[in-house]
Amino acid sequence: MAYRNFSDTLDIDTAPSVSLSGSLTSIEWLIVALAQRDPLSSIEKPGRIAMMLGALFGDRPNPQLADPRLEALRRFAVLVRNLRDHLPGEETARFLAAGFSRAQARLVRHAVNGR
C-alpha cells in the first residue's frame, strides 16, 4: 500500500502536538470534551456480549482510544467527572505516568468539575 503525504498540499498544522506543562493541546481539549458523554463503565473494556449488542444495535461499544496517552486523558476526565473528590490516588498516578503534569491534572479537574 502506498503512502502519500498531503500535508504539503493541504493547510495542515504540522507542529508537533506537545503541550506545555500547564496547558492542553487542542486535541487534548477535544478528548476532555468528548469524555463528558462517556459513562463510568467506559473505562473498562467491554465484554463479548456488550460488543455483540453494540454491533447489533449500532451503539459505540468501546470508546477507548488507540493512543495510550490520549486514552489516559479520556479515562482521567471520565473518572474526575463521575468520582469528583473520591478519585483514587493510583488513577492520578496513572495519568501522570502517561506524561501529563500535576498542573494539567488540576486543569482537567477544573474544566470538568468547575473547581
Amino acid occupying residue 76: F
Q: How many CB atoms lie within 10 A of CB 32?
A: 20
Residues 6+ apart with CB under 8 A from 96: 102, 105
- Cβ(105)–Cβ(92) below 8 Å: yes
Mean pLDDT by 10 residues, the chain (115 residues): 48 45 88 90 77 74 84 95 90 95 95 83
Look at residue 75 in the predicted model and tell me its pLDDT.
95
- Cβ(76)–Cβ(108) below 8 Å: yes
| Max intra-chain CA distance, the chain | 49
Amino acid occupying residue 44: E
DSSP state of 63: -
Look at residue 85 in the predicted model and tell me its pLDDT.
82
Look at residue 104 in the predicted model and tell me its pLDDT.
96
Instruction: Tell me the pTM.
Output: 0.70
